[in-house]
Amino acid sequence: MTGDIEQSSRVRFPGISSRAYEHPADRGALAVLRAVPAVGPIIKAVAAAFSERGERLVQIASSVRVGPKQFPDLHRLQNEVAAAFDLQEVPELFVRHSPLVNAQTRGIDKPFVVLSSALVERFDREQLRWVIGHEMGHAMSGHGLYNTILDRLLGLRYTMGWNPAGTFAMRAVIAALYEWQRKTELSCDRAGLLAGQDPQAALRVHLAFAGDTGGQVDIASFLEQAKEYEGEDIRDSILKLLDNEQRSHPLAVVRAAELQRWAASEEYREILTGTYPRREDDHPTNNLADDIKGAARSYKESMSSSADPLIKTINDIGETVMGAAGKMWSKVAPNGPAE
């Protein structure tokens, strides 16, 4: 298969923290999400009403659990990816019958991964490795909690039409969750790349999600579409905002271009050489200020380099807002904002 890498040549990452691959906008969006007043009570209420055990029972009853005797090739990939990330507890893996090419991670205390049968049939070994790495990235980052809650909130939304105030609050929470969820996909695309260390395999996955039916797409032309998507007409900017409002994933060309840039970055090369955050050093409360500042820098860099006319228009406004936020943080943080 094209682009295969020998297992012995792949780098492993002892004690790697999810912070190594998390996109700064992911961590920042989660920090902002938790700051929305309605999020805490709603998440607690929904988490209490729905059992994770029930989620797993559905998969046990309707899917095939991957193991030594069931999808043994997938089982080997599952263990190889877990070993690359130095995971002591390997998330369960299920294959569910579906004509859609899809994968997801669910669960809160014990996350599990579900692959569609169409994805397993269509993807080669290295594409599957990337997908499993991507989904394990969700598990390592704890994304399963908010993904599960979002699913439940979407279901509950239609039962609350009689309560306009409740519906409005829930809509705000759902919008925040969607924004965060799109950022998590950028993080976990990076986790998939670390699992396989094969940018071409990652690109083949994005091509497949975009519509490639097997080697009929020119890679350079496809990546050129990402530049075209930025556009030069402010009307396109408005249309993109409206189109993305309730999307759970970034668009395929955007994801592909974003990951290929990261694959060529010094940050990625440093991780491969062993320079990355360790789990033993994770202190979420201490990292909050850095996460917010990192997200601010990420958005600022995206705005500065974007050709999108609307983004350029709001760039100065965004810098002003970020500056004000920094001043406010310096007043409440003991040591001021970290540089």
On whether residue 274 sits in a domain, the answer given is yes
Neighbours of 134 (CB within 10 A): 26
On whether residue 310 sits in a domain, the answer given is no
Asked if residues 129 and 83 have their Cβ atoms less than 8 Å apart, the reply is no
On whether residue 325 sits in a domain, the answer given is no
Catalytic machinery residues: 135
The values of phi and psi at residue 103, to 5°, are -150, 150
CA distances from 100 to 148, 173, 177 (A): 20, 28, 24
Neighbours of 149 (CB within 10 A): 22
On whether residue 115 sits in a domain, the answer given is yes
What is residue 112's predicted lDDT score, i.e. its pLDDT?
A: 92
On whether residue 289 sits in a domain, the answer given is no
Per-residue pLDDT of the chain (339 residues; tens, 9 = 90+): 444 566 668 999 999 999 899 988 777 666 665 566 666 566 656 655 556 678 888 899 999 999 999 999 999 999 999 999 999 999 999 999 999 999 998 877 788 999 999 999 999 999 999 999 999 999 998 886 666 666 766 666 656 554 555 566 666 667 767 777 788 899 999 999 999 999 999 999 998 888 877 777 787 888 787 777 665 554 455 455 545 555 556 677 888 888 999 999 999 999 999 999 999 987 655 555 566 566 556 555 555 555 555 445 444 444 444 444 445 445 544 444 333
On whether residue 245 sits in a domain, the answer given is yes
Quick one: DSSP state of residue 70?
B
The residue count for the chain: 339
Neighbours of 214 (CB within 10 A): 9
- Which residues touch 227 (CB under 8 Å, ≥6 apart)? 257, 307
3-state secondary structure of 258: helix
**For the CA atoms of 54, 59, 60, 64, what is the dihedral angle to 10 degrees?**
-170
* Residue 194 lies in domain: 15-282
Task: Quote the number of domains for the chain.
Answer: 1
On whether residue 153 sits in a domain, the answer given is yes
The residue among 169, 141, 138 whose CA lies nearest residue 45 is: 169
The pTM is what?
0.75
What is residue 314's predicted lDDT score, i.e. its pLDDT?
A: 45
Quick one: DSSP state of residue 12?
P
Q: What does the block give as tokens for 159?
A: 């039962």
Q: Pairing relation of β-strands 112-116 and 92-96? A: parallel
On whether residue 191 sits in a domain, the answer given is yes
Query: Exposed (0-12), middle (13-18) or buried (19+): which is 255, by Cβ within 10 Å?
Result: buried
Asked if residues 115 and 65 have their Cβ atoms less than 8 Å apart, the reply is no
Q: How many helices (H) and strands (E) does the chain have?
A: 15, 4
**For the CA atoms of 185, 18, 266, 257, what is the dihedral angle to 10 degrees?**
0
